[in-house]
């Protein structure tokens, strides 16, 4: 994933139609990474992020397959752009943004934990939820990778 982070990304909490879609969007040549972040890998953090991701994936799957896809993407883009203030450059224009979601780019969810996500984690519930969310996303045609984003 190293060079993916050099690509275009939208940061900030992205809520649309009262659905929490993602914290960060990262575009690569062939994938769209939707990153959800939590403080700790534990039962509470894993439960929260699992619910957010399943809701996001179900909503996106429904909207991207609907007749209202273009309208949804335009409104979603406008919601994101509204968060960029003080001359901060927007990583992609509306046409480019829509192209990513309408093309052959695969959606890949990333679960970022600031602490506690390692092989020695004692959270059995967190591990179970992580495996379950990965299975559910694979069933929907999305990929999912949990990772530690800080030491």
- Per-residue pLDDT of the chain (151 residues), as tens digits, is 333 333 445 555 554 555 778 888 998 889 999 999 999 999 999 999 999 999 999 999 999 999 999 999 998 888 888 887 777 788 888 999 999 999 889 999 999 999 999 888 889 999 999 999 999 999 999 999 999 987 5
Q: What is the pLDDT of residue 7?
A: 43
- d(CA 34, CA 12) in angstroms, rounded, equals 11
Tokens of 128: 């179970």
- d(CA 65, CA 69) in angstroms, rounded, equals 7
Q: What is the pLDDT of residue 67?
A: 94
Q: What is the pLDDT of residue 90?
A: 81
Tokens of 137: 């996303």
Q: How far apart are the first and last CA of the chain?
A: 18
Q: What angle do CA 116, 141, 104 make, to 5 degrees?
A: 110
Is the C-alpha dihedral spanning 148, 146, 92, 29 positive or negative?
A: positive
Tokens of 99: 């192209």
* Torsion, Cα of 131, 41, 111, 127 (10° steps): 0
Tokens of 93: 């224009």
């Amino acid at each position: 994933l190293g060079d993916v982070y050099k690509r275009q990304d939208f940061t900030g909490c992205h809520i649309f139609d009262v659905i929490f879609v993602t914290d960060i969007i990262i575009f690569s040549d062939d994938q769209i990474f939707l990153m959800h972040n939590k403080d700790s890998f534990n039962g509470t953090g894993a439960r929260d992020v699992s619910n957010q991701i399943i809701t996001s994936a179900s909503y996106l799957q429904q909207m991207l397959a609907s007749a209202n896809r273009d309208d949804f993407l335009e409104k979603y883009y406008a919601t994101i752009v509204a968060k960029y203030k003080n001359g901060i450059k927007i990583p992609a224009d509306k046409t480019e943004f829509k192209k990513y979601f309408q093309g052959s780019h695969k959606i890949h969810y990333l679960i970022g934990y600031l602490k506690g996500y390692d092989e020695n984690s004692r959270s059995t519930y967190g591990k179970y939820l992580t495996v379950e969310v990965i299975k559910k996303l694979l069933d929907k045609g999305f990929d999912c990778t949990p990772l530690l984003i800080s030491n």
